[in-house]
Chain A
């Protein structure tokens, strides 16, 4: 590759080649108040030599991998850097730290009308984190050594709590002395309630509770995917019921298209499994694998798919051969549903001329078990869906269902998988209803909106310390910043109960100990390195299913 000194740009980087703006040379780094230089460290020097050599020599590279333990996860390196320094910061003689996780209730600005309130959340995903990262012997001599070296370079100082980790290694054989209590997985709980608590079980390991905050707070993701997916299920249930009189096929109405749009393979596994709490249609294979490995189901697989075309399998035939591509593909899959993306050139022409005329005979021969599913993939979603339905409705004989809505013949359906999020979904089904189209005609696919366009703030997920024991005395603690009352946290030891009227309530300051409030809905799931309670995916689905009362509310 030739060097590309950009003629239209200054040939000089801002502060000269020797000290480029970027942190290209670790020894030119100006860390705010820098103490020691990285280059002085023996390990840094050694690493550099090794790495240079590694570029030409695979066996050295393998050696390096072994040296750094590449494959193995190290809980000592799976936290925010600053937590490495926290054991020095708690009050002297602290013997317990107790923290909890909630999806905070947000007092919303009444002038801002948010279409979806998300007033309840689906609790899901803790079991994955416990199984994958926290259970068993997670601390070893090698991991302590690795962490010690990494943090010495990272902080340019010895701040790592080697003694504390050695204590866990020796006293607990590397198992984590913490207890986690949580609501059952799949539970649907109103915002603002405790969902799980974490506490240290050994007075020496008070600092461990919040060490695991970073990894545990990532549960915001499966909770948020499952919750958002469930809200979409409510919308689909409402309109499907209203336009067809039944909920048949509901579990296949929202197909997961999100694999490519998430940020990693692991995220795909977690997010897709969270969608499957509510639905059964997915193309994100990783989600099924995660469920099989970390939850288990009585069915061999918890999610299904159908053969489907993509643009490459259509455009590879050439622009003049779209009809040949369509014909070939439907013939390849005669006895099962097959979805065909039809917008490579002109979705309306494809529906009218190719499907509606050229290949009409072939389609009419298909059965209700093996429909052609036409997939538009561009344009305004609602307009496109309506126009496609209108064209197909003219070419194929419509029937009216018991609720008086139009239904295409059972051998042809539509799937909209572009631009679908919870808001557009609502708009499309509402628009279809207005135009007297039954929701039976359509299924949806959602990718980015289902698995990626979500953040921890959507449900205000937070993990906060609420109780500590210092000098043998328990203290209820909380934060309450003047500038944002929404950020106030709960106080003391917490428990979750149901009132006689069935509402959920979180009791603070250890009040739940009193018998009058009934049993605590938080169950111990993890204690001293062991998982003591697990849920099958069937239980998760059952806990998360739409309740009769919710359906009644939707149809009001």
Chain B
């Protein structure tokens, strides 16, 4: 696959990097850097899902990314931007001449979908030709944007853990888990490309989405023909366009237009409680009862305090339609009736809502969730402390481990030397520093070398790698275990095993 033609790789970096080739020590011939989600004391989310590198490689880095035209465009551009000549025209021309415009870079990475504890190397980058020592960190800017798909996939998986725990406890099974959290985030992200990337990252864990762009990304970059599903659903415009006095007609139209599959109807245009009690629970009650499990009506509140509103709605529906007890003793609405809460959902509120529901005797089976900005936008590079740092250089062919270690913030310290990732004899994943790792143990796989992608993953493989395990769902044990592993991990570091 070739990177996009109109994209100029030479213009896809922080300005200052244009000047860095002049700043490394003379006779440097290798720069080696790595990416990690730094471990932060007291931080949340102790493990991350590695996802998204393949997209960046295919879209921006693979193939012939340097051309004479692009060099000329960049030269003119940087002359104006810096108001002086600093651009390394000769260096780039050498990439063109020696490698036909392909990048003499090697990237080794954890397989996509792998769950890795914070504080471990996730990928490394190095130049493969001593002439191009400056290229390693030129692509930092672009590669560091990996924070985004990693963070979305990780947060989405944290949602899944919470949902799994409650679903198991209140229904006895995990049926339907992978459609419990629907992606509502398309409009709330910052661009079409982010929608695609974030939408696809959510699909690592779930298969329920309205962010069509994510499906296309999964199709085009991760070989998944159809990664997620949706159902017909109303929005406010399709309800209020009937006029305030005709909300019932609008609702009825929905039931008629979509008789044979599930349908979601936003019901808070004027008064969610009256809509549930008088319209769904009275005027249209028989129409609703005619529906089946396969064509459920899914009522959507969309304002107010999420937990309170949901509890009140479910109680009204119970009064109107009744409920039954499931095998583990929790209440379930008739199978033709469900609720989706898509307003105000984040990791905290979803847990609170599910706890309140189970406190009141309701199974999580009754509810689906939709999440927009908390899933795709309300996150940043600090959520998982993603960093890209140089850890090793060779000068005159002689290797040297390097690191930063600011006195003003020890948590910003970086790893040293060439890195590898292994599972140790205790079963724990750990990073081996200073080039001490055994190649046969290394979990990092060369995915990119000299412009060619060497290893690809399908979304199916990624989903398998990222699946949830039993321990993830029983938090008490999980935490205990996590602490233990952390302690062991730290002990190893202190004993100088690395």
Contact = CB atoms under 8 A, between A and B. Distances in A.
Given A14-B469, A65-B1, A452-B381, A336 B82 contact: yes
Contacts of B463: 20, 22-24
Contacts of A6: 423, 427, 469
B380 A448 contact: yes
Sort chain A's interface into a size bin.
Answer: 35 or more
23 contacts: A21-B164, A21-B468, A47-B226, A71-B4, A88-B258, A89-B234, A89-B238, A91-B241, A150-B215, A154-B226, A154-B230, A215-B192, A217-B187, A220-B187, A259-B13, A263-B197, A311-B390, A333-B19, A345-B404, A455-B378, A457-B373, A464-B237, A465-B237
Chain A to chain B: the 6 pairs with minimum beta-carbon distance, closest first:
A483-B304, A379-B408, A7-B427, A47-B225, A465-B237, A312-B390
A214 B270 contact: no
B68 interface: no
Nearest to A293: B6
B469 A318 contact: no
Contacts of B389: 311-312
Nearest to B394: A316
Contact of B254 (A89, A286, A304, A314): A89
Given A8-B428, A265-B12, A305-B15, A44 B225 contact: yes
Contacts of B393: 316
Contact of B229 (A156, A289, A312, A464): A156
Contacts of B145: 260, 262-265, 268
B176 A32 contact: yes
Given A154-B212, A305-B16, A311 B404 contact: yes
Interface string A332-371: 1101100100011111100000000000000000000000
B109 to A, nearest CB: 11
B174 interface: yes
Sort chain B's interface into a size bin.
Answer: 35 or more
A264 B244 CA distance: 41
Given A23-B207, A307-B86, A457-B373, A283 B237 contact: no
Given A4-B423, A22-B466, A263-B190, 8 more contacts: A13-B470, A43-B225, A44-B225, A220-B188, A283-B16, A285-B12, A285-B15, A329-B22
A145 interface: no
B20 interface: yes
A315 B229 CA distance: 49
B52 to A, nearest CB: 10
B448 interface: no
A112 B209 CA distance: 35
Contacts of B111: 1
B17 interface: yes
Interface string A1-42: 110101111101111000011111110011111110010000
A335 B304 CA distance: 60
Contacts of A150: 212, 215-216, 226
A313 B24 contact: yes
Contacts of B436: none
A77 interface: yes
Contacts of B178: 21-23, 29-30
Contacts of A167: none
A477 interface: yes
Given A289-B11, A455-B378, A13 B468 contact: yes
A497 interface: no
Q: Which of B28, B235, B243 has the most CB of A within 10 A?
A: B235
B229 A218 contact: no
A148 to B, nearest CB: 13
A317 interface: yes
Contacts of B242: 91
Interface stretch (B90-98, B295-303, B317-325): B295-303
Given A43-B225, A313-B20, A316-B24, A465 B236 contact: yes
A55 B223 contact: yes
B25 A154 contact: no
Contacts of B171: none
A61 interface: yes
A160 B398 CA distance: 63
Contact of B23 (A62, A215, A220, A328): A328
Interface string B173-191: 1111111000010111111
A90 interface: yes
Given A31-B179, A263-B197, A347-B406, A318 B471 contact: no
Interface string B376-394: 0110111000001110010
Contact of B408 (A2, A271, A347, A487): A347
A260 B211 contact: no
Contact of A24 (B175, B426, B460): B460
